Amino acid sequence: MSQPAAAPRLTRADGSPLRILVVDDEASLTDLLSMALRYEGWDVKSANGGQDALSTAREWKPDAMVLDVMMPDLDGLQVLSRLRQNNDDTPVLFLT
């Protein structure tokens, strides 16, 4: 019996790993999710709040974000609103 072909890895246009920004104020959740995404071969950075997420996104230019809704400084919807005001159309997956 032949083994199924491995699923192709998602990469950026230049062949480098996708950049994913994980944003959550709970360190244990951020660490767990980051570890799982790294296991899949993605380049991961994390931020622990809304302000940190905005500055990291501006500097690092992620390909996608995993964003917590409830955070103490700026909530996830406020972060998304500010990203969109700056014409940043990075795909966002919300954690609730």
Cβ(21)–Cβ(47) under 8 Å? Answer: yes
pLDDT digits (tens, 9 = 90+) for 48-91: 999 999 999 999 999 999 999 999 999 999 999 999 999 999 99
**88 part of a folded domain:** yes
Helix axes 50-60, 76-85, angle to 10 degrees: 30
Read off the pTM.
Answer: 0.90
What average pLDDT does the segment 13-29 reach? 96
Question: Residue 79 is inside which H or E element, if any?
Answer: helix 76-85
Question: How confident is the model at residue 20, as a pLDDT?
Answer: 98
CATH assignment of the domain containing 56 = 3.40.50.2300
**Which residues constitute the domain of residue 77?**
19-95
Question: How confident is the model at residue 8, as a pLDDT?
Answer: 73
Cβ atoms within 10 A of the Cβ of 30, count?
Answer: 20
